[in-house]
Amino acid sequence: MPDLPHEAPYADGKIITEVADGVGVITFNNPDKRNAMSLEMWEGFGEALTALRDDDSVRVVIMRGAGGKAFVSGADISQFEKNRHNAAASEEYGKRSAAQRALLADYPKPTIACIQGFCLGGGMQVAMLADIRIAAHDSQFGIPAAKLGIAYGFDGLRHLVSLVGPSWARLLMYTGMRIDSTEALRIGLVERVIPDDQLWGETMAIAATISQNAPLAIKAAKITIAEVLKDESARDMTAIKAIGTACMDSADFREGRQAFMDKRKPQFQGK
């Protein structure tokens, strides 16, 4: 995978961000441990997400794993004895990593998980929180919580059920089994499966398309789909109306109409 300019390290270089042409990339860079997530990596991940969120040049964010063997293979089990040895310690660990998951869950920009190799446990949580999942043929997916005696938690299971339905969620959780990319595609866990050597190019092509589209229109879709998934009583219809109005009154909408009439490619500014 080619390096991009403007590289910034977090968590002692175990999380790296790069930005080019409207696309931000976050790389989980702990290949010796198949990109297993330590607490420090979770915290660095949050810093990276915040930096790319606040960078106005970034319109879409890709997450990927370094080394070609894993996206994220789960939590760093070597930290469990210190950080997750009982309920109280595990709750504290959960709180310290929950802020980063919440940041990704409510992220205002489109997110893509580019998955090659193992995507397990906490890695599945990261992937499921992304808007779109694109996987290489060699990918493997699973949640081994039952093999470790861990409860996976409400949010992780809510996302799993929303993607694959309750029956597949039960089969995956009760057995701790791993499935390949073909099965993951069939059950709706991922959206696309790409040959390994084409994965990065295809992912960047999708990201480039998103980055060239109207940011406010994408934001409207993201907000509205999130509200669709909520219980009717909890939906914020005012937010949907507000973003719809912002789109229709935007300079980008005028630019889109004009570009269509002029038979040229629109240049969207996100306002």
- Judgement on whether residues 206 and 223 belong to the same structural domain of the protein: no
pLDDT over 50 (residue 79): yes
Q: What is the pLDDT of residues 1-36, one digit of tens each?
A: 444 556 788 989 999 999 999 999 999 999 999 999
Per the prediction, the chain carries an average pLDDT of 91
Residue 2 is predicted with a pLDDT of 46
- In the prediction, which pLDDT does 189 show? 98
> Of residues 157 and 93, which shows the higher confidence score?
157
Query: How far is the C-alpha of 122 from the C-alpha of 148, rounded, in Å?
Result: 13
Give strand ranges (E) for 83-186: 111-115, 118-120, 132-136, 140-142, 178-180
Average pLDDT over residues 141-148: 94
- Tell me the C-alpha to C-alpha distance, in Å, between residue 164 and each of 127, 161, 168, 226: 13, 5, 6, 17
Domain range for 229 is 214-262
Residue 271 lies in a domain: no
pLDDT at 45: 96
- pLDDT band with cut points at 50, 70 and 90 for residue 85: low
Together in a domain, 228 and 242:
yes
96 confidence band (pLDDT: 50, 70, 90):
confident
Last residue of a domain, one of 191, 211, 231: 211
**One domain for residues 170 and 218:** no
Q: What is the dihedral of CA 70, 73, 78, 80, to 10 degrees?
A: 160
* Residue 220 and residue 202 in one domain: no
Q: What is the DSSP string of 14-80?
A: TEEEEEETTEEEEEE--GGGTT-B-HHHHHHHHHHHHHHHT-TT--EEEEEETTSSEEE--B-GGGH
Q: Does 98 reside within a domain?
A: yes
Residue 267 lies in a domain: no
Three-class SS state of 164: helix
Per-residue model confidence as pLDDT tens digits over 148-173 = 888 888 989 999 999 999 999 999 99
Residue % of the chain over a pLDDT of 90: 80
Which domain CATH number covers 184? 3.90.226.10
Q: What is the pLDDT of residues 173-202, one digit of tens each?
A: 999 999 999 999 999 999 999 999 999 999
Q: What is the pTM of this model?
A: 0.92
| Whether the predicted pLDDT of 83 surpasses 60 | no
- Shared-domain flag, residues 167 and 207: yes
State both tokens at 68.
């070609």
Q: Name the amino acid, one letter, at 36.
A: A
Q: Are residues 105 and 230 in the same domain?
A: no
pLDDT the model gives residue 3? 47
Residue 91 pLDDT more than 80? no
